[in-house]
Amino acid sequence: MDKYNLKDALLFISRGDTHEILIETNQRTRPDVQSNLQELLNLYPDIIPKVVSLSELQEAGQDDENKGPKERIIHLKDLADVSESEKKVLSYFETARKLGASDIHFLISESIFKVRMRIFGELQTVDEDQPALGYSLCATAILSMADVTETSFFPQREQDARLSPQLMRKIGIFGARYSHRPTGDGLIAVMRLIPDDGDKVPTFKQLGFIPEQIRLLNVMLRRPEGKIVLSGPTGSGKSTTLRSACRVYLDDNQGRHLLTIEDPLEGQILGATQTPIICDKSDEEAVKLAWSRAISSAMRLDPDAIMEGEMRDLVSMMSTTYAAQTGHIVLTTLHTNSALGIPERMITMGMNADLICDAQLLIGMISQRLVPTLCPSCRIPW
C-alpha cells in the first residue's frame, strides 16, 4: 500500500536466491527504516545491507519497473516505530553493567548464537538463541547504534565501530567499542564497555597503586615536557590509568590545555579536548594516515599536553617524539610485556636508539597488569 512505501529510504531487491537491501544514507536512522531492516534481517540473516545515495536509490527503484517477477523490488510495509533489535542490544548492555562485566561477546555459529560476558576476568554464558538473531543484532549495532563507523554491515570481513554515547548513557554507560571478525562457521563480535564516570575518574589509589608508585607518577606528570609510555597486554587497564593520569594533570595544571587523540573515545575526561579517529577502519593505510594527520593537526591546536591512545607504528611514534621535543608532555601506550621492554619494542619498530636513550625525552616507562577481584564480603574470587 502507498502509505507503507519506503522507496525514499529503503528498498529490498530479490533476484532468485540473491537478495539485496538498499538504504538511503540520510534516512538510515529513521525508526521505520530500522524496524523494516530488522524484519528483513530476521527473514534473510545472510543479507548484507548497502547504504547508497538518494539518486542511487531512486535509480534502483526506477529499474524495478523493467524487472521480471523474480527481480522485482519489494517495498516492505511499516512495521513498528521502534527497533526491537536496538532494545535487545541495550538490554545486554544493561545486564553487563549490572554484573560488572567489561566485555560482551556475541558468538554466532551455524547452529546457535551465544552471548557471553567477561565478569572479573572470566567469560560466562548469559544467553543463547538462534543464529539469525545474532546477525540481526550485529547489523543493528553497526547501522543504527554507532556514530563512528562505516556505512554498511559486512559480516564477511573485520569491522569496527563506536556505539553512540548518547544512546549508551540512557543505560548508565559512556559508550562502547564494537569489533567483529568472521569465523570458520559464523561470526564473533566483541563489545567493550566504557563506564560513564567522567565526573568521578578513579584515582591512582583506587586503581591499586601503592604510595611509592603514586609519588613517582606524580613526579612524571609534573615535568613540563617529555613522553610517558604505559605498557601492558590488551585488557590490562591501560586506558583507565591514562584517564586517571590526565585527571591528575588537569587538576594540577588548571590553566593548561590537554588534547587527546583516541580510537575510539575511551570515556569522558572533564576539562580535556577529546578527539576521535574517523576513517575506514578496514583500510590499514587509511588508518595510519588518519593517525598521522590527527597528531599533526593536534600540534596546531595549541596543546600543553597530548594524550595519544596508542603508538601503533613508526609514524605515530615519531609524531609523539616530535611533540615531546617541542615542549609538550605526551602520554601514550604501547603493547609490551614489561616496562624495560618499551625501548626494545620502539627500536624494533624503527625508532632511533639515540632518541630513546634521551632522558629528557622518554621520562617515564610504566607496565601494569590486572589481578582478579575478590568479593569484599568473603574474599573468595568472583
pLDDT band for position 15 (cuts 50, 70, 90): low
Quote the CA–CA distance of 254 and 322 in Å, as a whole number: 24
Q: Quick one: pLDDT at residue 250?
A: 94
Q: Which of 264, 270, 95 is nearest to 172 (CA)?
A: 95
Q: What is the pTM of this model?
A: 0.67
Residue 24 burial by Cβ neighbours in a 10 Å radius (0-12, 13-18, 19+): buried
Question: For the chain, what is the largest distance between any 2 Cα atoms, rounded to a whole number of angstroms?
Answer: 77
The answer to which of 47-56, 228-237, 300-309, 356-365 has the lowest mean pLDDT is: 47-56
Residue 309 phi, psi (nearest 5): -55, -35
Q: Quick one: pLDDT at residue 382?
A: 56
Q: Which helix (H) or strand (E) holds 47?
A: none
Other residues' Cβ atoms within 10 Å of the Cβ of residue 364: 20
pLDDT band for position 147 (cuts 50, 70, 90): confident
**How is domain 204-367 classified at the CATH fold level?**
Rossmann fold (3.40.50)
* Domain residue limits, the chain: 2-74, 84-194, 204-367
Higher pLDDT, 140 or 5: 140
Give the class (CATH, top level) of 84-194.
Answer: alpha beta
Other residues' Cβ atoms within 10 Å of the Cβ of residue 94: 14
- Which residue reads 596508542 in cell numbers? 310
Q: Quick one: pLDDT at residue 87?
A: 86
b/e burial code for range 95-133 (CB count within 10 A of at least 16 → b) = bbbeeebbbbbbbbeeeebbbbbbbbeeeeebeeeebbb
pLDDT band for position 28 (cuts 50, 70, 90): confident
Q: State the angle between helix axes of 238-252 and 211-221 in degrees (0 to 180), rounded to the nearest 10.
A: 60
51 neighbors 57 (Cβ within 8 angstroms)? no
Q: What is the pLDDT of residues 50-103, one digit of tens each?
A: 888 877 877 776 664 444 433 333 333 333 333 788 889 999 999 999 888 989
Q: Quick one: pLDDT at residue 373?
A: 72
Mean pLDDT comparison of 185-199, 203-217, 287-301, highest-scoring range: 203-217
Q: Quick one: pLDDT at residue 151?
A: 74
